[in-house]
Chain A
Amino acid sequence: MIVFDKPHALIDVPLHYCPGCTHGIVHRLVAEVMDELGIEGKTIGIAPVGCSVMAYDYFNCDMIEAAHGRAPAVATGVKRADPTKVVFTYQGDGDLASIGMAETVHAAARNENITVIFINNAIYGMTGGQMAPTSLIGQVTQTSPYGRDPKLCGYPIKVCEMLRELDGPEYLERVTVNSVAHVRAAKKAIKKAFQNQLDGKGFSLVEVLSSCPTNWGMTPQNALKWIDEKMIPVYPLGVYKDRSATQEGGNK
């Protein structure tokens, strides 16, 4: 009996990500969810600009490569063109929370019926490790070589906390993939974010605290520990909004 194998929705090609980068885990979770919900054939994914720019080569569903930060606007167009299709964006922190913040906030405010997978690894990976809107205070990056100083470059942007204040979005949850238990929880959240779309509930965003061993300058194992020790205290895991559950008298 097969206990675990590559999901069909993930194409069988080597990923270009660095060793130990958890992008690959999240790709696989999205693909597993597509398999389990039986939606690969009617799903259109939108890749961002950043490390996951070539995500279109990895998912078996139809894919679109968007301009930097514009994935939620492109997804809006695709979804409005045919609301029976399933549309998701896969975006990093620079894409979603810096250059594309307006598109993110307004897609959420419209409760656009799309699924957003947001990879927060607190750094710009593809361009070689610059400060991201989500970089931590004191974090050393190529463009904050003395550590992120809030007096010079402000504070980390907490996307789930910020979007929670809008009336629009249906579902916001922050997860991570730095342990087997966390991977299981992340998959549950991603599945819910897609199921919400199928149920017509609206904008569902899952923020995934992800590792970047290369640009953090750590071993893959230490990078996972860094998520526990440094990132989670700033970016607490949990459900930030779940409108349907709230309306049904749920837990949050």
Chain B
Amino acid sequence: MDKVLMKGNEAIAEAAIIAGCRHYFGYPITPQTEIAAYMAKRMPKIGGTFLQAESEIAAINMVYGVASAGLRVMTSSSSPGISLKGEGLSYLAGADLPSFVVNVQRGGPGLGGIQPSQSDYFQSTRGGGHGDYHMIVLAPYSVQEMAELTVKGFELADKYRMTAMILADGTMGQMMEPVSLDLQVAEPPQKPWATTGTNLSRKHNIINSLSLVPEELEKLNVARYERYKIIERDEVRYEEYRMEDADVAIAAFGIAARVSKNAVDEARKMGIKVGLIRPITLWPFPKAPFAKAAEHVKQFISVELSMGQMIEDVKLASECKVPVTLCNRVGGMIPTPKQVLEAIVAADKGGKL
């Protein structure tokens, strides 16, 4: 299939439709609005539902309803809106419902700004709402990946009965690139647990997150974490770039990884042995490549659009065997390749920037 030029947000929307999603609920917020606008145009033409909800809270609960009925469904928002969805994300986890959520991050906290950010890393990788739970968090770094990880997100959500989230940022959402929409979609699994009506032929199904007996609630939590272990074993995704002989390793995802790749190439031209580890799944976090790299690099640099959030996972994964420094911009600012290059040069000299 030929490539088409699309915005990242539009690529997510079209890929969701290709993945079989026919129900979208959302509330306007910059910088993800193109997803809703795209769905508003497309859904009525393919027999789907686009509904602008009265709030982010209502939107995520409409998602809860469609997910209960066993169909693929999504919502999208940006940072402040995702906070509002936190309640629903927790209930979706508690009821073991598959759902697909997009966060096109902007600077925070509070109303913050509308420019790109990665400062919802903690919120998304640690759950986002109350209680013990995780979401599968996917971090695309190109428009093509926006599309591919959307399809993957729907598949993983169904496979593990949980929420899969695309954690993008304003740059990813707004930028245009050629994208191939020749996407392979696996058949959704059977959902015998769905509330689709008993047809008087089976016991009633109940979708629920309430469990008042502590022994039973403990069992449910433990079982959910057993499932998470399988995901941590089977679903970790990452890219290693020029890591074979690296003395310095950069950790970066999303737009920060794109910037960092340029810096890595520049540094290599200068003779510095530097590579990049790019987590594609932020949860489950790719611990193995960091543990392996910790055996041969002298320093990690975590390049982030936050005050340093992923850096904690880099330290945990590398067991702090070598120093991990932060190279960052926040508030909607993006590190330049020059800034990252300077950090690489400093790291190669063994000093901190």
Contacts and interface: CB of A to CB of B under 8 A. Distances in A.
Is any CB of A less than 8 Å from a CB of B in the complex?
yes
A70 interface: yes
B66 interface: yes
B51 A63 contact: no
A81 B209 contact: no
A60 B204 contact: yes
A76 B201 CA distance: 25
A78 B54 contact: no
Contact of B197 (A41, A53, A57, A105): A41
Interface centre among A41, A56, A78 (most CB of B within 10 A): A78
B64 A62 contact: no
B1 interface: no
B204 A61 contact: yes
Main secondary structure of the interface of A (DSSP, over half): helix
Interface residues of A, number: 35
Given A54-B210, A63-B204, A74 B68 contact: yes
A42 interface: yes
Interface string A62-89: 1111110010011111111110010000
A44 interface: yes
B58 A73 contact: yes
30 contacts: A54-B210, A56-B206, A57-B206, A60-B204, A61-B197, A62-B197, A65-B210, A67-B88, A70-B57, A73-B59, A76-B62, A77-B61, A77-B68, A77-B69, A77-B73, A78-B65, A78-B66, A78-B68, A79-B65, A80-B23, A80-B49, A81-B70, A85-B197, A102-B54, A102-B55, A102-B58, A103-B54, A103-B58, A106-B53, A106-B58
Interface of B: 23, 25, 49, 51, 53-55, 57-59, 61-71, 73, 87-88, 91, 95, 195-201, 204-210
Given A61-B197, A62-B205, A81-B70, 18 more contacts: A40-B200, A44-B196, A54-B210, A56-B206, A57-B206, A59-B204, A63-B205, A63-B206, A64-B208, A67-B87, A70-B64, A73-B58, A73-B61, A76-B51, A77-B67, A78-B69, A82-B69, A102-B58
